[in-house]
Chain A
Amino acid sequence: MITNTTQRRAAEGSKPLSLRLNYRAQRYLFIYLMLGIPVLYFLLTRLYPILYSFNISFREWDVLSPEKPYIGWANYTSLLEDEAFRKSLKNTFLYVVVGIPGQLAAGLFVALLLQNVKRLRGFFRTVYFIPYITSIVAVSWIFRWLLMPNGWINGQLLSLGLPAQPFLQSPDQAPYVIALSMIWQSVGFQMLIFLTGLEGIPKMYHEAAHIDGANAWHRFRYITVPLLNPIILFSAVIAGISYLQSFAHIVSMTQDGGPLNSTRTLVYHIYKLAFKSFDMGSASAATVVLFVIILAFTLLQLKILDRKLDY
């Protein structure tokens, strides 16, 4: 009722009270306020800790000790000397390089196949999506059983006359096994995203190209891929970040990121530093390194993949 009088006053040309806002302003105030609450929460629970971890990374921060002296860049230099850290950096890079293209290619492949079938489409979509919503720990343990030295997969290899493989017990094979299991688990997600993207490409482009004599590969190369570009970008960024942050697979499928740190990731290393060695300073320094990497990586992807295309 009060607001009505405000409006009336405004309409009459009389001066509104200084505290009273006009209708538009009130509406925007409400909207921004509603939007602002989560932002405030975000600032408190996300941004503040992030900034604070920068502070921690410059201190000798033993969680149980009351003194947290400032030590400059010492945490960063000791990280550089830390073999396990360098190894985990390298592994994380490997997961990204193998994982993203693998995941995108597999997801796109399945999506393209599915797009061309009508029967059982829902069934296949469900089956491919199930791994994505299955618990990583459960999946990892099943893989462990399948892949153990005397496990089922080696049994099959041997019955085919092939040599048994050490898989997770070998520093050369283990990181790829982990990367493959991560790809397998996320194919369903990528497939779903790509399916949506493919649905969004107007059929007439393909038809027109077909009439002009473009074969299937040409149509894929010059119509599907360019028009899917925003989807590919989105998928690549999401996949990239998830690979950069991979942790659960390492914990469940390997023993302490082994053998010989061959599967240890940056996040796992951070976890060990922080919660096993209580060294929050080094852990925060490693987190800052990861932050910089993710930031650079995402900016790079945006730059490379986000090209505007007009048709």
Chain B
Amino acid sequence: MNRIHNIAKPLSLLAVVSLLLTACGGNNSDNAGSSSSSSSPSVASASPTETTTASGDSQEKVTIEYWQYEYPSKVALIDELIKQFEEQNPGITVKQTNFPYDQYNEKVATLVPAGKGPDVINLYYGWLPKYVSSGFLQPLPESDFPAAEIESKYYPFVDAAKIDGSYWAIPTAVRTLAVFYNKDLFAKANIAEPPATWEELVEDSLKLTEKDSNGQFVVEGLAWEPGAQLHHWYRDGLLPQAGGQDLSEDRRKILWADTPAGLEAFQYLIDFAVKHKVGTTGVFTDDVTAFKTGHAAINIDGSFRLGSLATDAPDLNYGIAPLPSYKNKSAPSSYWANAISAGVTGAKLDASIKFLKFLTSKEVQEQWVDKVGELPAQKEVATQDKYLNDEKLGPFIRQLDNSKAHFFIDETGERTLFVDAANEVLLNNVPAEKAFKDLVAKTQKLYDDYWAKVDKK
């Protein structure tokens, strides 16, 4: 007993001490975290400055943090670009931080309020309104990124990043959707050319569809997954192609139902699954898997898929064609853009601007095409012959002039509404007119709520 007794006292003392220590430690690390936050950049950069300027460097050393999601080729390229940038700008150090795509917003949501946010951040353009209305970003300085210059040099859909009259983000590269078609399956069905019109797409997909004796899909004529790319195809492809309009000038009103084109385009999209039965949800789990494994003859997908097809299905014999057109030509486009966080000021801001300018330079855009496979965001870079004549990139680039990027106020919310409307028709036999009407009304409500919040601020 006495022995236990003897140990007990020092142990309990130790426990108390360690408790105190952990309590202090917690405080310390908290302080450290908030001091490195963007609100007081001078303080945060002070300590590295002192140690590095001791060597006689008169210019202050600045460290900025760059965030992007984890996409191997992009991460590797940014590492490489940071080296190039640091060579050109000896006073600046850039630190790259990555998060998995699925967790990206989650990390932003948890780390930014904790004061551990980035200086320069890479964002999906569809998230911009949310980030802007949340006050997380600052507009790009007009002196360094004049709106007029952006509008003349970049593809017009980049203006989805223009909110309240100023640009908040600027892309290095952009993506569009196009027709991915399996050449072997086309040859088997004796189809020489990829479909160029709405009608041809229906005809071809009917010819290409193959079912077994039980009526189960062996080959889908057209992979049909509304939650993947098809909802984009509707908003920025089918709808304008049929002569309809997406949003009002002030981006407050959904105009899909203002002309018959909206319903016509919706019906056209739904008919592939409901009427023509050339594809449906969940076949081979999803559209990309079905196409990769040769079980879908056509898929509407983005230029961002070129890379993963090359690695996952190197033997797949496929081609790219512009989206089939109807009354007009139009293709959905999207991009990841770089923005500067709201709290960044002083030397850090200057460094961030320099880095942003570097990221949007012609040289970087070209490296981006080569290494990542995304298309240059500036017209003069994209329309060089070496890209236009590329078998895979060419069709994507040729569509850029006619492409649109829907102004998302809530990307996941808007997608969910669209998928639900499609499923109402497909699974619950709701008439397309009714599903479409509900879709427009619900999407409009999303916009009303968003703008009500914005107006209140």
- Establish whether residues A64 and B216, one from each chain, have CB atoms under 8 Å apart when the complex forms: no
A230 within 8 A of B: no
**Contact A256 B134, CB 8 Å, known A3-B6, A26-B8, A277-B413:** no
A65: contacting residue among B12, B134, B227, CB under 8 A: B134
Interface centre among B8, B130, B282, B419 (most CB of A within 10 A): B282
Q: What band does the interface of chain A fall in when counting residues whose beta carbon is under 8 Å from B?
A: 35 or more
Q: Out of B217, B218, B285, B420, which one reaches A258, CB within 8 Å?
A: B420
Asked if A276 meets B5 with Cβ closer than 8 Å, knowing A144-B285, A256-B416, A260-B427, the reply is no
Whether A63 lies near B113 (C-beta < 8 A) is yes
A205 at the A/B interface (Cβ < 8 Å)? no
- Among A99-107, A115-123, A166-174, A181-189, the stretch that binds chain B is A166-174
Q: Which residues of B contact A33 (CB under 8 A)?
A: 12, 15-16
Q: Quick check: A64 and B131 within 8 Å, CB to CB? A: yes
- Distance in angstroms from B228 CB to nearest chain A CB is 9
> What residues of chain B lie closer than 8 Å to A4, measured between beta carbons?
2
Q: Is A145 an interface residue (CB 8 A)?
A: yes
Bound Cα distance A34, B13 (Å):
11
- Chain A residues positioned under 8 Å from B215 (CB to CB): 164
Task: List residues 120-165 of chain A with CB under 8 A from any CB of chain B.
Answer: 141, 144-145, 148-150, 154-155, 158, 164
Give chain A residues whose Cβ lies under 8 Å from the Cβ of B135. 64-66
Q: Which residues of A contact B2 (CB under 8 A)?
A: 3-4
Pair B105/A276 contact, Cβ less than 8 Å: yes
Residue in B12, B131, B283, B284 whose Cβ sees the most chain A Cβ within 10 Å: B12
A277 to B453, CA, bound (A): 14
Check B110–A63 contact: CB distance below 8 A.
yes
The reply to whether A169 and B282 form a contact with Cβ atoms under 8 Å apart is yes
* Residue of A26, A62, A255 touching B227 (CB-CB under 8 A): A255
Q: Shortest distance in angstroms between A136's beta carbon and chain B's nearest beta carbon?
A: 16
Decide if A30 is an interface residue (CB 8 Å cutoff).
yes
Tell me if A27 and B8 are in contact (CB < 8 A): yes
Residue B21 interfacial (CB < 8 Å): no
Task: List residues of chain B with CB within 8 A of the CB of A40.
Answer: 19
Q: Is B310 an interface residue (CB 8 A)?
A: no
Inter-chain CA distance A261–B11, complex, in Å, is: 55
Compute how far the CA of A164 lies from the CA of B113 in the bound complex, rounded to whole angstroms.
Answer: 50
Known: A150-B216, A155-B216. A278 touches B420 (CB 8 A): no
Residues of A within 8 A of B416 (CB): 256
Q: Does A272 lie at the interface of the complex (its beta carbon under 8 Å from any beta carbon of B)?
A: yes
Q: Is A98 engaged at the interface, CB distance under 8 Å to the other chain?
A: no
Is A51 in contact with chain B by the CB < 8 A criterion? no
Cα A66 to Cα B115 in complex, Å, equals 11
A259 on interface, CB distance cutoff 8 Å: yes
- A150 near B420 with CB under 8 A, answer no
Least CB distance from B2 to A in Å reads 7
CB atoms of B427 and A169 under 8 A apart: yes
Q: How far is the CA of A292 from the CA of B107 in the complex (A)?
A: 28
Interface residue ranges of A1-53 to B (CB < 8 Å): 1-4, 23, 26-27, 29-30, 33-34, 37, 40
Given contacts A29-B12, A30-B12, A64-B135, contact A256 B227 (CB under 8 A): yes
CB neighbours of A280 from chain B (8 A):
109
Known: A272-B412, A277-B410. Contact between A171 and B283, CB under 8 A?
Answer: no
Q: How distant is B362 from chain A, measured CB to nearest CB, in Å? A: 33
Kindly report which residue of chain B lies nearest to residue A23, judged by CB atoms.
B5
Q: Give the residue of A1, A27, A37, A64 whose beta carbon is less than 8 angstroms from that of B15.
A: A37
Interface: B364 (CB within 8 A): no
Q: Across the interface, which residues of A come within 8 angstroms of B109, CB to CB?
A: 63-64, 274-275, 278, 280
Q: Is B9 an interface residue (CB 8 A)?
A: yes
Query: B15 to A148, Cβ gap below 8 A?
Result: no
The answer, yes or no, to whether B424 is at the interface (CB within 8 Å) is yes
For the complex, give the distance between the alpha carbons of A154 and B216 in Å. 9
Q: Which residues of chain B in 2-57 are interfacial with respect to chain A, using CB atoms and an 8 Å cutoff?
A: 2, 4-6, 8-9, 11-12, 15-16, 19
Complex Cα distance, B109 from A23, in Å, reads 52
| B284 touching A148, Cβ below 8 Å | yes
Contact A27/B216 with A62-B134, A258-B419, A277-B413 known, Cβ cut-off 8 Å: no
Closest residue of chain A to B103, judged by CB? A275
Instruction: Check A64 against B112 for contact (C-beta < 8 Å).
Output: yes
In the complex, what's the smallest C-beta–C-beta distance from B306 to chain A, in angstroms?
A: 24
Interface flag for B281 (CB, 8 Å): yes
From B6, B214, B424, give the contact of A260 (CB < 8 A). B424
- B428 located at the interface, meaning its Cβ lies under 8 Å from any Cβ of chain A in the complex: yes
B residues near A275, Cβ cutoff 8 Å? 105-106, 109
Chain B residues with CB below 8 A from A37, complex form: 15, 19
Give CA–CA (A62, B133) in the complex, Å: 10
- Asked whether B217 lies within 8 Å of A278 as measured between CB atoms, the reply is no
* Chain A 256-307 interface residues, beta-carbon cutoff 8 Å to B: 256, 258-261, 272, 274-278, 280
Chain A residue, CB-CB nearest to B5 = A3
Residue of B nearest to A31 (CB): B8
Instruction: Mark B119-152 against chain A: 1 for CB-CB distance below 8 A, else 0.
Output: 0000000000011011110000000000000000
Q: Name the residue on B nearest A3 (C-beta).
A: B5
Nearest 4 CB-CB pairs, A to B? A64-B134, A63-B109, A150-B216, A158-B214
Given pairs A27-B8, A63-B134, 7 additional interface contacts (CB within 8 A): A27-B5, A64-B113, A148-B282, A164-B215, A259-B423, A277-B413, A280-B109
A-B contact pairs, 12 of them (CB 8 A): A23-B5, A26-B12, A33-B15, A40-B19, A63-B110, A64-B109, A64-B113, A65-B134, A154-B216, A164-B215, A170-B427, A275-B105
